[in-house]
Each structure stands twice: as C-alpha cells, then as structure tokens.
Amino acid sequence: MSDILIALRAELRGIFADRQVRLIILVALVIYALIYPYPYRAELLRDVPVVLVDLDRSTISADLARRVNASEAVMLSHDAPDMITATRLVQERRAYGALVIPEGFERALLRGSQSPVALYADASYFLMYQRVMQGAAVPLRQMGAEVEMGRLIAQGTAPDVALAQVSPAVQVEVPLFNPAAGYATYVLPAAFVLILQQTMLMGLALVATRRGQGLGHPVWRVLGRMGAWVALYALLLPVYLIVLPALYGLPNLGNVPAVLMLGLPFVLATGLLAQCVAALFKRGEVVQVVLLAVGLPFFFLSGFAWPVEAIPAHLNWIAQIIPSTAAIDGLVRVSQMGATLPDIGHRLWHLWGLVGAFATVAVSLEVMAHPSTVAGHQTR
Amino acid sequence: MLAVMLREFRLILRRPALLGLVVVLPVLMLVVLTGIFRAGIPTGMAVVVVDLDRSDLSRSITRMLDAAPEITVREQALSLTDARAKIVAGHARGAIYLPQGLERDILRGAPPEIVIFYDNQHMSAGSLVARGARGAIDAALTGLRLSVRQGQGEAPVQAMVSIQPIPLQAHALFNPAFDYVHFLLAALVPTVLQIIAAAATAYAISLDFGPGRHPQVLARMAGGVLPAMLGKILPYTVIFLLILGLSDIALYGWLGVPLRGSLLLMATGAVLFVLGVQLIGAAAFVLTRDMGRAASIIAVITAPAFGFMGLGFPREAMSQLAQAWGALIPGTWYVQLRIDQSLRETPLDISVWSVVWLACIAVALGALVLLRLVRLRREIEATS
C-alpha cells in the first residue's frame, strides 16, 4: 500500500513541480477554453448576404424579393444588373449566392404558365449553401403554393379543397437536441473532450519521459500513478465538461453521475496511453510535436463531426483505440442528448477495455524499463 | 549557408527523431486524413419509421424513404418514445412519424402531419438525414398531387406544370458536384502541416541555438548568424513543400479535385505559407530560448487555427476580433487561396491579396526573428 502512495505522491510532484507540465495541464487548458470557442461565439448564421438580379422589375418580382429578404436565413444585400457582376461579388466573398428573377417572370405567372426562378448558391461553404437554399426555397415554395391555390379557386374549386390539393400533408421537421442548430452547441461539447485528452496526454507523457527510476513493484507504481491522475482530474474534468459548457451557455441534459462514470475510465485510459506514448517516443520534444499534430485527425476519427458511416472500416477500427472516440460519443450523448448509462453502456465497457489493455502495456513497459526493481522489491 | 544546409540534411538523415517528425509524421497524417474523407459524402444513415397508419400509402412512403441515398430505413419503431430512445442510444440518426389515419385523412382532404425528427447534435449527419427524408416525402407528396390532377383529367405534363408555378432552379456555384469532402481535405492537410512545420522548425533550431549549444560554430561555418539561421530553416522548407506537393498530387490528381486557377499563384502562396509557418516556429524559439515554452506558444497559435479558417463556421460570421486573429495565421490565407484557385476560379486580382497577406506575415515574422538574432549575435560576440 505504501508503494502505491509513494508512486502517487511522486506522480503529483512530477506534475506540479515541472513548470512545463503545469503549463500544459493547467494553463493551456484555460487558454484553449478561451480560444477554441471564440470563432463560434456568434452561434447562428443569420442574414447571409445574397445578390438580387431582378431582370423583370415587376410588382410580383419585387414581392418575391421582399419575401426572400424577410426570411431569417438570408438578406438581399446587393442589387446587380447581371450574373457577371453577381458572380464577382460572390468571388469577393461579399455575398454567398445570387437570386435571378428572369425577364418575363410576371407575364408568365399572369398567363398561368410556369415561371422559373434561378438560385445560385456558393457551394464551396457547406453551411452557407444550406442557409442560402433554405432562405430562398421556403418563401418560394410558399409563393408557389399561393399561386396554385389562387388558380384552383379561380377555376371554381372550393378554398378548403384547393388547400388540401396543394398540400395534401403538412411536412414538419423537428430537430431533436440543438434545436436552434447552433454551431457552438454542436462542436464545443466534443471539442472540450478532445482538448482535455490532448493536454492530459501531453502533460502526463512529459512527466513519464522525465521520471527517474521508481520504487516498488511495477503494478503498485502504475496503480499509484493512476490514483494521482484520478485525484487531479476529479477536479479538472467536472470543471471542463460541466462548468465550462454551462459558462458558455450550452444546453445540458446530462446527469452528473453519468458524466463522472464515463469520465473515470476516460481519464485512466488517457493517462495509461500517455505512458505508452512516452515509451514510444522517449523525448519530450518529440512527444509534444506528435500529440499536437494528431489532435485534428483524432477529432475527425472520433466519428462526431464526420459521420462514422463515412469512415472506412479499417480506419474506424484503429480509431477505437483512441480514448476520445468512445469518450466523445458517450459524453456528448449523456450531456447533450440526455442518454442514461444503459444507453451508452457499450461505450463505458469500451473505455474500461482500453484501460485494461493499456494498463497491461504500461506495466510491461515498466518491467522492461526497470527490471531491477522487480528483483529489488522481492528481496526487500 | 550552403554548408549549413548540407549539414542539416545529413543531420535529418542521422537523427531518427528529426526524420520522423518532418517526414514520417506528416506523410502518415496525410494518409490518415485522405483515408477518412476518401469515401465522400456519407450515405445510408440509419433512420427508423414510426408507421402508425400501416396503409398502402405509408408503406410506399417508407419505400421512398429507404430509396433516398442519404438514409436507410433500419427498422420500424412502435412509438415515438421508442424512436427517440433509438436516436439517443445511437442506433438511428432520425425518425419519420407517419400518423394514424394518414391515408384516410389525405383522401378526405384533411391534411395530416408527417414529422421528420433528426439528431441535430450531430449536425453534419443530422442535416443530411433531414435532407434525404425531406426529398423523399416531397417526392411522395408530389406524386399524390399529380395523381389527383390526372384524376381530374389533366395531362401528365400539364399537371407537372400546374403543381409548380414557380419552380426553383438551384445551382451549386463553384462546386457543382457538391464535393464538400475534398474541399475539407484540401484545408485539413495544410492545417496539420502548419502545426508540424512550426514545431519541427523550432525543434531543429533548438538543436543548435538552444541553451548550452554553440551557435557560433554554425555562424562561423555559414559566415554570420543570419545565413546560419537560413541554412537551418531552408532544408525544412524544401521538405515541407515536397509533402505539400504530394498532398496536391493526391488531391488534384488521384481524387480529381478540379484545379481551375493559376498554378503559379498557388505555388507562390505555398512557398510563402511554409516560410511563414516556419518563421512562427523560429520566432517562438528565439524569443523564449526554450523548446518547452516555444512548443506551448506554437500550440496556442496553430492548434486552434482550423476553427478560425472558417471552413465550418464562415469567417464573415465571426466577430471582428476572431477574424483579426484568423488573419494573423498563415494557414487562413493559404487555405483561402487554395479554395479560390481550385474550386472558385477566383480572378487573380482578388486572389492575389491572399498571397500579399501571406508575404506580409512572412516579412513581419522574418523581421522579428532577425532582430532577435542580431541581439543574439551581440551576446555571442560578448561571450566569445
């Protein structure tokens, strides 16, 4: 038991006595908490600028433009005489789409024939494309329905029958969770888990590379260190995954015990992985560069931002070795979607499985690195 | 300077750590990132149908949902509660609710509600599910409206015209194939390379200019501190440009992303980008004279850089301060240049500004490093 306590104390000393480790585990956590969310503070895309190319200049075309302008998603910010001018505005990123109302638009509608409108949306930005499409399509569809109904009623159809004919069923779309489609609400809960993992990997791997020869049996040494990580992250993890999201005003449906239940194997698996990383790369400088470089790939491998359905099977298999893959999925479902422990039970087992596997490797590394202490312990 | 460069190349080959950082690591990341996005836009995401009607119509809507490429109808759920539980647990990405009496109400002319529920916490997947389901239900309803009109004696072509008085002709500007995937890849590779190039350059410099090292040997070899520093940096510029070129071959050759703009401008941008990023690493090191602290500075600047580039959430929608911070990072301009010159076919007079910004960043950082080096030289002269 005393061996465990000695290792625990040594690990805590390794973390707090080393300025660089302190910088990574504590200061970097604070700095990232400020910088990462910064681009997404606006949360929503409102009034995306769109160029209006109204070649008809009629009452109905003006009405159409007014309706599109009134939508929350887009704003008709510029008037352009032709598509060339409009395209240039889009290329300069001063607008993200162009609504073209062709000449003869009103005449065709009054004549009772089809009168198309063209929408050019900048598809090089996925989110902008969606918003521009949404902003124009909804008012256009509504106007179309009104025209069709008007024509039916003019032909002598009863208004309620006409309504049913134009829209036989009402289509409702209900976003479950993140109903406002906020970008911060979407990306931050997952990003915070990854930041926690990367700073922890980096800090603890540095401690491991700078550690001298330990005392006691390798198993006790590793257990002691695990105790140190749990003691430290029992404080940091709730602050990062519960308090910080609350400060940013992110919705939280999760129960604290479930977050902690997932957090425990996540912290242990990450800490143990840090020992393996340290043993693999040996030098602190190398460990740091490697861990910095893999952060973004880890995020996309986790299957959160990029759906797991699109990730090739063999890569997805490798991704399961990284604690963040299971932890992001489990923690996001618990905190943002109100999942209960049985819902994410497989993630919990997955993380404990990683703990078991990494612990085995970490203890074997310990035995290989300092074989003498095993003998020393036995003779003591 | 050439002597220092040659020495550096030999050093890279001799030191496995350096070789691993500047060659193996970036190539491995390139392979992994390409692997993740190679399959393209995700398809066949699982949805459940809550069919309380169990009529011919509800079954035909279910079939149309299943036929949408974005989604696959995994199973039926007995109730909305059941469907929600499946979404929360991750077995489905969305649910489509077909109410009881759907077919009867439609025939009676009392419009029922069809509801699409989708998981918007996983926004990228959720919005695709919503799009697929919306399209399928639209198609089903259009079919119904057509059959009503045809039942009234309208010709099929005329009926099609009648139900869509104002059809929307949607065009995807610059990206007709909606190739969002490769666009993302085109930005991720420089972002990861930016981290590696800055950190590896700082590391390489620390090997000669760090505390306890003797830069004067190197300085004498090159005939000055500045040539010595250039000799240290330029070999890595060559290596990182080669890796960037490799990613371009993968992207524009193998994956077939269109390259519509000026190659010369892209190449100039690439050189300035790599130099600028390396100078971030060099500046971080010469300012701190400590690899640990330099790494922390580099981490703070380059690790969150992806968000500031505005690929997910556009830059123009960010606050002024966030835009300004993004403007200080070379990757922001280089990625913009790549997108402009590959997909958007942006005229040169607009796109050249990205290159000008890249040059400004490189010059400013270069001046900073130079100032520090002059001081360093005085210190060296004073001690020797």
- CA-nearest of B97, B95, B87 to B53 is B97
Assess if residue B173 is contained within a domain.
Answer: no
Contact A169/B36, CB-based, under 8 Å? Answer: no
Min CA distance, A169 vs chain B (Å)?
A: 4
* The predicted structure's pLDDT at residue A377: 45
Closest CA to B350 of B341, B359, B342: B341
* C-alpha dihedral, B18 to B19 to B21 to B25, nearest 10°: -170
pLDDT reported for residue A380: 37
Indicate yes or no: CB of A285 within 8 angstroms of CB of B313: no
User: How far is Cα A178 from Cα B45, in angstroms, rounded to an integer?
Assistant: 19
Q: Is A201 on the interface with B (CB under 8 A)?
A: no
Q: Do B125 and A151 touch (CB under 8 A)?
A: no
Neighbouring CB atoms inside 10 A of A220's CB total 20
Examine the domain organization and report whether B133 and B249 are in the same domain: no
Based on the domain organization, do B378 and B256 belong to the same domain? yes
Examine the fold and report which residue of B163, B193, B223 is the final residue of a domain before the chain moves on: B163
Q: Which of A296, A302, A350 to mutate to test the interface with B (most CBs of B within 10 A)?
A: A296
One domain, residues B109 and B92? yes
Q: Residue for token digits 């997805």?
A: A316
Is B207 part of the contact surface with chain A (CB cutoff 8 Å)?
no
Indicate if the pLDDT at residue B138 is higher than 60. yes
Q: Which CATH architecture has domain A48-166?
A: 3-Layer(aba) Sandwich (3.40)
Residue B195 CA from chain centroid, whole number? 15
Distance from A54 to chain B by nearest Cα, in Å?
Answer: 15
Tell me the per-residue pLDDT of B272-321, one tens digit each, with 9 for 90 and over: 999 999 999 999 998 888 888 888 899 989 988 888 888 878 888 888 88
Alpha carbons within 13 angstroms on the beta-carbon side of residue A105 total: 25
Instruction: Write out residues 42-61 of B within 8 Å (CB-CB) of A.
Output: 42-45
Q: What is the mean pLDDT of each run of 10 residues along chain A (380 residues)?
A: 82 85 88 88 81 90 90 88 90 90 89 88 83 87 87 85 84 87 87 94 90 77 89 91 88 84 94 92 86 92 88 91 94 89 91 94 83 46
d(CA B247, CA B241): 10
Q: B16 — contact with chain A (CB < 8 Å)?
A: no
CB of A333 less than 8 A from some CB of B = yes
Q: Is B171 helix (H, G, I), strand (E, B) or coil?
A: strand
Nearest CB neighbour to A177, from listed B111, B119, B343: B119
Q: Looking at B102, B129, B163, which one is the last position of a domain?
A: B163
Distance CA(B203)–CA(B291), nearest Å, equals: 7
- Are B150 and B251 contained in the same domain? no
pLDDT at B346 over 90: no
d(CA A146, CA A314): 52
Mean pLDDT to the nearest integer, B237-254: 87
Looking at the structure, do residues B95 and B153 belong to the same domain, yes or no? Answer: yes
- According to the 3-state scheme, what is the secondary structure of A61-80? HHHHHHHHHHCCCEEEEEEC
What pLDDT shows up at residue B212? 67
Task: Say yes or no to pLDDT of B218 above 90.
Answer: no
Of residues B100 and A182, the one with the higher pLDDT is B100
Whether residue B79 is contained in a domain is answered as: yes
Q: What is the pLDDT of residue A374?
A: 47
Instruction: Give A231 to chain B, closest Cα distance, Å.
Output: 25
Q: Are residues B188 and B115 in the same domain?
A: no
Q: Does A230 touch chain B (CB under 8 A)?
A: no
Q: Which residues 293-322 of B are in CB contact (within 8 Å) with A?
A: 293, 295-296, 298-300, 302-304, 306-308, 310-319, 321-322
From A23, A45, A140, residue closest to B168, measured CB to CB? A140
Residue B168 within a domain: no
Evaluate whether B298 touches B284 at the Cβ level (below 8 Å).
Answer: yes
Instruction: Please answer yes or no on whether B173 and A122 come within 8 Å at the CB atom.
Output: yes
Band (B187; pLDDT cuts 50, 70, 90): confident
Pair B104, B67 in one domain:
yes
Q: Which long-range contacts (CB under 8 A, 24 or more apart) does B315-321 make?
A: B315/A39, B316/A93, B317/A42, B317/A45, B318/A38, B318/A39, B318/A41, B318/A42, B319/A38, B319/A41, B319/A42, B321/A38
The single-letter code of the amino acid at A98 is A
Q: Are residues B246 and B329 in the same domain?
A: yes
Looking at residue B180, what is its pLDDT?
66
Q: Which of B173, B203, B315 sits opposite A123 (nearest CB)?
A: B173
Question: Is residue B376 within 8 angstroms of chain A, CB to CB?
Answer: no
Output the pLDDT for position B377.
73
Q: How confident is the model at residue B15 (pLDDT cuts 50, 70, 90)?
A: confident
| Residue range B351-383, pLDDT digits in tens | 888 999 999 999 999 899 888 888 877 776 776
Q: Chain B closest CA to A97's CA: distance in Å?
A: 8
Q: Does the pLDDT of residue B347 top 90, yes or no?
A: no
* C-alpha separations of B353 from A35, B108, B314, B350 in Å: 26, 62, 18, 6
Residue B146: CATH number of its domain:
3.40.190
The reply to whether A227 touches chain B by the CB within 8 Å rule is no
Q: Which residue range forms the structural domain that includes residue B128? A: 45-163
B339 and B212, same structural domain? yes
Q: Using a CB–CB cutoff of 8 Å, tell me whether A378 touches chain B.
A: no
Give residue B187's identity as a one-letter amino acid code. A
| CB < 8 Å to A305, chain B | 124, 312
In the listed set B163, B192, B213, which residue is the last one of a domain according to the structure? Answer: B163
Cβ distance B141 to A160 less than 8 Å, yes or no, reads no
Query: Which has the minimum average pLDDT: A38-52, A99-113, B159-173, B213-227?
Result: B213-227
Do the Cβ atoms of A91 and B347 come within 8 Å?
A: yes
Residue of B nearest to A46 (CA): B317
Residue A243: how many CB atoms within 10 A of its CB? 9
* Chain A, window 34-93: residues with a beta carbon less than 8 angstroms from a chain B beta carbon: 35-36, 38-42, 45, 64, 87-88, 90-93
Domain borders along chain A are 2-40+182-379, 48-166
Residue A159 token pair: 């208004």
B107–chain A nearest CA distance, Å:
8
CB contact under 8 A, A31 and B114: no
Domain check: are B76 and B184 in the same one? no
Are the beta carbons of B203 and A289 separated by less than 8 Å?
yes
What's the number of domains chain B is made of? 2
Chain A nearest CA to B246, separation (Å): 18
Contact B238, B324 (CB under 8 A): no
Least reliable range by pLDDT among A133-137, B129-133, B183-187 = B183-187
Q: Over 90: is that where the pLDDT of B271 sits?
A: yes
Which of B38, B144, B178 faces A123 most closely, judged by CB atoms? B178
Q: Using a CB–CB cutoff of 8 Å, tell me whether A158 touches chain B.
A: no
Are B220 and B362 in the same domain?
A: yes
Check CB contact of B247 with chain A, cutoff 8 Å: no
Report CB contact under 8 Å: A173, B111: no
Q: Which of A93, A117, A183 lies nearest to residue B312, judging by beta carbons?
A: A183
List the single best residue of A138, A153, A173 to mutate versus B (max B Cβ within 10 A).
A173
pLDDT tens by residue, B319-339: 888 889 989 999 999 998 988
The answer to whether A248 faces chain B, any CB pair under 8 Å, is no
* B127 in contact with chain A, both atoms CB, cutoff 8 A: yes
Partner B, chain A 110-129, Cβ-Cβ below 8 Å: 113-129
Torsion sign across C-alpha atoms A148, A149, A153, A154: negative
All residues of chain A having their beta carbon less than 8 Å from the beta carbon of residue B299 are: 28, 288, 292
Per DSSP bridges, beta strands A117-122 and A97-101 are antiparallel
Asked, for residue B261, whether it belongs to a domain, the answer is yes
- Chain B residues touching residue A337 (CB < 8 angstroms): 87-88, 119, 121
Does residue B172 lie within any of the structural domains?
no
**Is B36–A160 a contact, with Cβ atoms under 8 angstroms apart?**
no
Q: Which of B60, B64, B158, B166 to mutate to test the interface with A (most CBs of A within 10 A)?
A: B166
Contact by Cβ (8 Å): B37, A306: yes
Nearest residue on chain A to B350, judged by CA atoms? A92
**What CA–CA distance (Å, rounded) separates A137 from A171?**
14
- In this model, does residue B177 exceed pLDDT 70? no
Contacts A–B by Cβ distance under 8 A: 339
Residue pair A151/B94 in contact by the 8 Å Cβ criterion: no
- CA A25, CA A35: separation in Å to the nearest integer? 16
Residues B231, B378, single domain; the answer is: yes
Chain A residues touching B137 at Cβ < 8 A: 169, 171
* pLDDT tens per residue, range B56-94: 989 999 999 999 888 999 888 888 899 999 999 989 999
